[in-house]
A and B are shown apart, each in its own frame.
Chain A
Amino acid sequence: MSGLAPNIFAASVSSASHALALAAPSLAHLGALDIAVIAIYFVMVIWIGFYLKGQANTSEEFFMAGREMTAWIAGLSFVSANLGSLELMGWAGSAYQYGILAAHWYWVGAIPAMLFLGMVMMPFYYVCKTHSVPGYLKLRYGQGASFVAAVSFAFMTVLMSGVNMFAMAVVMKVVLGWNLSFSIIVSSLAVAAYVALGGLRSAIFNEVLQFMLIWGGALLVPILGLVESGGWNGFKAKLAHNIATGLTPAGDYTHMWRSMGHFADNPMGIHWTGIVFGLGFAISFGYWTTDFLVVQRVLAANNLRSARMAPVIGSFFKMAVPFIVILPGLLGLVVLQNPDGSLMHLVPQNLATPESGLHSYNEVLPLMLVRYCSPGLLGLGITALIAGFMSGMAGNVSAFSAVWTYDIYQPMINKTAKDEHYVAVGRWATIWGVIISIGTAYLVMSMAGIMDYVQALFSFFISPLLGVVLVGMLWPRATKSGGFWGLLLGTLTSIGLWAWVKADPAALRYVALSPDARDMAENMYRALWSVIVSMGVNIIVSLFTKPKTLAELDGVVMGATKLPVEEPVPFYKNEWFWTVIAGVVFLALNIYFW
């Protein structure tokens, strides 16, 4: 889930760990009611874990939640797996810093890919009955590409889980003054318990629970923020006044595309081509259509129609998320005040030292919570943040468990064990995944800057995987060698470009096409180059190697697969109808905030 987390936030959390003097005052003080709200949440997730233990006896039940999730549950879980607190707080901070540009990561950076997954790719994932994305690669390209993808994915999931855990501990430290180890141990014990007990079903249940909590805990903030600002027009008028009087740095905070004509015209240093092709295609399609962590949720759907509807349902909620993430960040620009009544100015993390008394951009969401939420509501908001972190961890650990068992342990170590054996391996993989995550969390804590590297590492594998899956799914001619070399060279391109810019920052002008490009733009263009290389190599090598016959590709490739005929349903239950509606809403939002 943290594949799309803002790198800015990742780096700041990392540096924050060292800046966190023990004497730093916390932002919020919880009362007995708030503590009770948090405690009830923990009781509930453990209860769910124990309750679901009896429904996780076979491998199909443990790893795929019995493939009986409705479209709504799969859809909510699909979105929720990417709605961790790292994203919530990071993007709220980015909205304060860069304005509504941050919403690109929720709209163009997600919606087209989600709809494409549902309408074009899902039938092949679902019909071939794979347990994972590496499993799909095995069916399509054979063991080589599958093993490379499985190992890199398993490695990254436990690493990201640890990063998530550490980020939560830092946030709890900053917001509540909690001890780092206390947060890490309590949250990891809870996650280990409910995932090891209930498997994917338990992880999905908690993701849906978390989704409801986030809306219950966070929606009040923008509502009250808009009331205080005098509505959206009132907010814009106040912001214009603040900019005119020099209280807020000049910039276009309320339009998404107008300042995208040149890298130097917007504070993110991004050009529209980077947003459309880099974010909207390479990064977004890579994450939403090939990252097993999110795809696993949809694979658990109870039939093909549900599997196709799930990302479409998810897309509506994804489009709504900026109202609880981006809007509070924007409102913070005009409503947050210092105790003396003057306008509060948030600063980059490195300036927000305890001595300075200043707050960082990333603290905008907790500051807004503290501003409006009285006892109980504050506990609910904090619980939503904790739940976000925990379901992020659970998502990583449950995906790790499935990939380890099906794509590494079964083909490489023990091919012929009984079903119960693989369930036991999955449970132990969950527990080991959590233990390794704890180790990663402490590693991140002890090594400044490592979090930024982990984020970059994650990005190396996602985009080349897209090139391989997409070509393999849509082009029957793609071969085993093409897939393997495409994945390998695409990954090496990504790593190579990243290392080039690290060694020589001036290389940014070549990688991101402009000397005015910033980090965000570099990520997007790097992903784009990586997909282009991955697809290009795949196609060229495939043209020179022997393809499989169409009969061998049944169920995994468009044109070679006979999709099951779906029963006719009224138009309002048809997935294409809702895809068109989602597309229209997506366009309308972009035009309104143009």
Chain B
Amino acid sequence: MHSGHISIWFFIGVLLSVYGALIAAYGVFELITGQHANVVLWNLHAPAWWGALMLLLGLFYSIKFRPGRND
């Protein structure tokens, strides 16, 4: 899937990174301000850790499958 082309995993990495960053940033905002959305189990701060997980996974894929890297 490389052969000089951009891998699908890179696109997925970029998308997960962007989504993870946005969602984690919102989660951190909730943590700092104490304001929270009207959802059940808000006290678990799912956006913060779920967003962070997505961001880490996204960065891993973006770096491992970045264009020009052949593996």
Contact = CB atoms under 8 A, between A and B. Distances in A.
Given A70-B1, A220-B50, A376 B26 contact: yes
B41 A372 contact: yes
B32 interface: no
Interface stretch (A9-17, A130-138, A208-216): A208-216
Contacts of B40: 224, 228, 335, 371-372
Given A51-B6, A55-B5, A70-B1, A374 B39 contact: yes
B56 interface: no
Interface in A210-263: 212-213, 216, 220, 224, 227-228
A48 interface: yes
A170 interface: no
B22 A376 contact: yes
B30 A374 contact: yes
Contacts of B47: 374-377
Contacts of B5: 55
Given A55-B5, A216-B54, A377-B46, A228 B26 contact: no
Contacts of B26: 33, 374-376
Interface string B33-69: 0001101111010110011001000000000000000
A69 interface: yes
B39 A373 contact: yes
Contacts of B54: 216
Contacts of B44: 224, 227
Interface residues of A, number: 35
Contact of A36 (B22, B37, B50): B22
Contacts of B18: 40
Nearest to A212: B12
Given A68-B3, A73-B1, A209 B19 contact: no
A69 B1 contact: yes
A40 B15 contact: yes
B36 to A, nearest CB: 7
B28 to A, nearest CB: 12
Contact of B19 (A40, A208, A227): A40
Interface in A29-51: 33, 36-37, 40-41, 44, 47-48, 51
B41 A224 contact: yes
Label chain B's interface by main secondary structure: helix
Contacts of B15: 40-41, 44, 209, 212-213
Interface residues of B, number: 29
Given A70-B1, A208-B8, A220-B46, A376 B41 contact: no
A25 B19 CA distance: 28
B39 A371 contact: yes
A220 B3 CA distance: 35
A374 B8 contact: no
A205 interface: yes
B11 A48 contact: yes
Interface in A370-406: 370-377, 380
Interface string A143-167: 0000000000000000000000000
A398 to B, nearest CB: 16
Interface string A334-376: 0100000000000000000000000000000000001111111
Nearest to A76: B8
Nearest to A216: B54
B23 A376 contact: yes
A279 to B, nearest CB: 32
Given A216-B54, A224-B41, A374 B46 contact: yes
Contact of A73 (B8, B30, B36, B51): B8
A375 B6 CA distance: 31
Contacts of A37: 19, 22
A224 B50 CA distance: 11
Nearest to B23: A376
Contacts of B37: 374-375
A36 B21 CA distance: 12
Contact of B41 (A51, A55, A209, A228): A228
A399 B20 CA distance: 33
A377 B23 contact: yes
B59 to A, nearest CB: 14
A212 B16 contact: yes
A99 B27 CA distance: 34
A37 B24 CA distance: 13
A216 B16 CA distance: 9
Given A212-B15, A216-B16, A372-B41, 6 more contacts: A33-B26, A44-B11, A47-B11, A73-B1, A374-B30, A375-B47
17 contacts: A37-B19, A40-B18, A44-B11, A48-B11, A208-B12, A209-B12, A220-B50, A224-B46, A227-B41, A228-B41, A374-B39, A374-B42, A374-B46, A376-B22, A376-B26, A377-B50, A380-B23
Interface of A: 33, 36-37, 40-41, 44, 47-48, 51, 55, 68-70, 73, 204-205, 208-209, 212-213, 216, 220, 224, 227-228, 335, 370-377, 380
